[in-house]
Amino acid sequence: MKIDLLPIGQYEENTYVVHEDGLVFIVDPGRHAKEIKKYIKDEKVIGIFLTHGHDDHTGAVDDLVDDYGCPVYLHPLDFSLVQLKGNAHNGGSTHPLTCPLLPLEEGELTLEDLSFKVIHTPGHTSGSVLIQYQKGLFTGDTLFQGTIGRTDLFSGDWAEMRKSLEIIAHLDSDLRVLPGHGMTSTIAIEKQTNPFLKEFL
């Protein structure tokens, strides 16, 4: 597995392009589809995964779908966030998506020969998820290095975030944390240093 981490856009949202044996999947393509495409060579794009529906994580989706014809996966509780005109405060998007969406719900998912685990972690949004591939854990805006995502935007919920953090606190320590913003980490490091996880250990 090879991972390209691309901090993109005004908020330096982390877009991930993941390569595995001629296959590619993309996590949270926030902006600048042309820049993202530079990292995809003669490979098959098998899907786009969205950890949640905020438009700083979704802005390049339609352009990439136009180019690659790949499916797009998002938890159904966040469909409205990407389909309705609005903003993160009122439950919509400044750049609503027009492409079809497939449900990304808790459990196992296989695309081609690649296997993924999806963990529903509401709190930042009601449809926030973690996506595990091998030892990589794409955490979106639920878990960052040393902190967590905000819960004061539309469909955010502090009580739900606490339940999600308790789940995260008991994940395998050797998982690599690949967040939606900022530096990468590991679950082991976050268990030791992240104040929001310590109460659940």
Retrieve residue 123's tokens. 């709190």
Please tell me the predicted confidence (pLDDT) of residue 10.
Answer: 74
Over residues 83-97, the mean pLDDT reads 91
pLDDT value at 189 more than 80: yes
Residue pLDDT, tens place only, 16-41: 999 999 999 999 999 999 999 999 99
List, in order of start, the domains of the chain with CATH numbers. 2-198 (3.60.15.10)
Over residues 91-105, the mean pLDDT reads 95
Please tell me the predicted confidence (pLDDT) of residue 11.
Answer: 76
* Residues 43, 181, 34: CA angle, nearest 5 degrees: 35
Tell me if 181 sits within 8 A of 14, measured CB to CB: yes
Give the Å distances, CA to CA, from 158 to 65, 106, 109, 169: 34, 20, 28, 16
CA 174 and chain centroid, separation: 19
* Predicted model pTM: 0.97
Residue pLDDT, tens place only, 131-153: 999 999 999 999 999 999 999 99
78 three-state secondary structure: helix
Residue pLDDT, tens place only, 36-56: 999 999 999 999 999 999 999
Q: Provide the mean pLDDT of the chain.
A: 96
